[in-house]
Chains A and B, each alone.
Chain A
């Protein structure tokens, strides 16, 4: 499990995260929600060690991820970034194999065991048929699945996703989140996913944490966090919450007239 305690991050004088504490159990999917600029991406970057934290810790058993070396940490935490511009000339196969980096020497020589793991990862995200394609010619949804396969190839117990659905259409959003939930529930990963869409978070996450101005304002089950007064205050917008007719999960509707 991932245990984040009192994590604080500043960019110069600007405080972005303040004493954030969260835990994600193995087999659990935690959605991180909050308005733009609340610090969701910063949290992912800090836990993955890309930006330095001013205080606090992020632990997996005994290992403090914030002080571990890049290689050590990459064997514990993998990250699915927002789809950015990927180097177009790389093939899907080359890209996914790079997920094995934390287990390779500096020459990046892969063994057949590494290749097996990369192939299984592609199969797990149902992207085995893309194996020979170049990442530059893939659609946004396909790219996101390839990045997820690369993260799985890292064989880490903890998986972080930074707004993985932001450039996807509804069909691919649902497909991706179902897959991510299965990775938590079936494969036993501790999954932390930053999400924009409250209703997708409500439908797919086991628990939700609400981040506002760098602080955790609420966390718990979707029903506990997605209450009209909490969300209205966080997003500065009156909302109503009704039960989703499909599965009774909370459905947040803006109430702006």
Chain B
């Protein structure tokens, strides 16, 4: 009776509040998109933004609206889209990896997938495809193949008989990730002239202009993220361990393979054009789980939206902190993310939310 009284309202989100978390994160995303469009080397006042929207970006626009329209359509919108898509991919695949390996530390970076994908992308870039749609499509494809290869290598390195202990997985992932990163640096140093630009890419920066990169990663992201969004129930079952999931009727091996491939696809697409951006895939699912509970059917879409919003905010910071100079996005996420993560870790030590 005492225990019962203590837990008077333990179910955090009764049915009628099911959509509330979604509304919150969508609002956050909407604000982040507005910030990302308005803020930059030229600040676009909200009133002008509103007038542009009302005019539908067309017709004879008076100055400075015409200039603003050019900036927004040519520069701000494609960048906003690329950053949002990258963040969505990192958030959702981070949640999927954490659920798959039942480990709060599993994220695309710790298990080496991002570094492997980066290596694949750099190899593809050093071949110097023409800057066309198909040339750009080849980069995420190379990143994806390298990411899958990485998963296979790391998985088989970590395997002991039929089991894959999480510690082994992360050790193998970190080791292989370092190897891939070293190889990436080697390739970039060897290629003459492009070193500076490539270094910027490696630290994460969505500074590639235009709509091409967005179109290049879109197919990969749509496929990868759609599969992940449908995997919530399977991931819920997997939280009880392979044996119970199997006994409850889940074809465990097939489900795990599909989720792994989909998450790697999304990660690879994100890495291919935005470079290596840490902590988003780690922190966003963590925060969402802490606030909204561990049901993966809810956690996956929330991490997707939250990842997009968080990375947009980081990108805005990257533009303004040292203005007019722009910081690589990866530096912002690490600077803001690492302390925040440590704080979360410390605060939540005794909360059984995981």
Contact = CB atoms under 8 A, between A and B. Distances in A.
B230 A81 contact: no
A81 B237 contact: no
B19 interface: no
Nearest to A104: B233
B11 A87 contact: no
A220 interface: no
Contacts of A50: 242-243, 246-247
Interface string A69-100: 11101110111010010111111011000110
Nearest to A160: B247
B37 to A, nearest CB: 35
Contacts, number: 92
A108 B10 contact: no
A154 B248 contact: yes
A37 B242 CA distance: 22
B244 interface: yes
A107 B354 contact: no
B249 interface: yes
B252 interface: yes
B294 A101 contact: no
B248 A106 contact: no
B250 A101 contact: yes
A98 B235 CA distance: 11
Contacts of B242: 50
Contact of A71 (B9, B249, B297): B249
Nearest to A147: B244
B241 to A, nearest CB: 7
B233 A70 contact: no
A155 B232 CA distance: 23
Given A87-B240, A107-B232, A102 B249 contact: yes
B248 A45 contact: no
Chain B interface helix/strand/loop/mixed: loop
A88 to B, nearest CB: 4
B251 A70 contact: yes
B4 interface: yes
A75 B249 contact: yes
Contacts of B234: 106
Contacts of A86: 240
B4 A129 contact: yes
A88 B11 contact: no
Contacts of B252: 70
B29 to A, nearest CB: 24
B247 A132 contact: no
A107 B3 CA distance: 34
Interface in B57-78: none
Q: Which of B11, B252, B293, B297 gathers most chain A CB within 10 Å?
A: B11
B249 A70 contact: yes
Interface string B219-238: 00000000000101110110
Nearest to B296: A108
A110 to B, nearest CB: 10
Nearest to B238: A87
B353 interface: yes
A181 B247 CA distance: 22
A90 B244 CA distance: 15
Interface string A178-192: 000000000000000
Interface string B315-328: 00000000000000
Given A70-B251, A107-B232, A108-B232, A132 B246 contact: no
A81 B295 contact: no
A238 B297 CA distance: 56
B230 A106 contact: yes
B240 A79 contact: no
Q: Which of B9, B242, B244 gathers most chain A CB within 10 Å?
A: B244
Contacts of A94: 236, 295
A70 B294 contact: no
B10 A133 contact: yes
B246 to A, nearest CB: 5
Contact of B251 (A69, A77, A81, A150): A69
A116 interface: no
A84 B243 CA distance: 11
A89 B247 contact: no
A86 B244 CA distance: 10
B2 to A, nearest CB: 13
B340 to A, nearest CB: 21
Nearest to B295: A94
Given A84-B241, A132-B10, 4 more contacts: A71-B249, A94-B236, A101-B249, A134-B10
The 9 closest A-B pairs by CB, nearest first: A108-B233, A74-B249, A89-B294, A102-B249, A87-B239, A88-B352, A136-B352, A79-B247, A132-B11
Interface of A: 45, 48-50, 69-71, 73-75, 77-79, 81, 84, 86-91, 93-94, 98-99, 101-102, 104, 106-108, 129, 132-134, 136-137, 150, 154
17 contacts: A50-B243, A50-B247, A70-B250, A74-B248, A74-B249, A77-B247, A89-B294, A90-B294, A91-B11, A93-B11, A101-B237, A101-B250, A132-B11, A133-B10, A134-B352, A137-B7, A154-B249
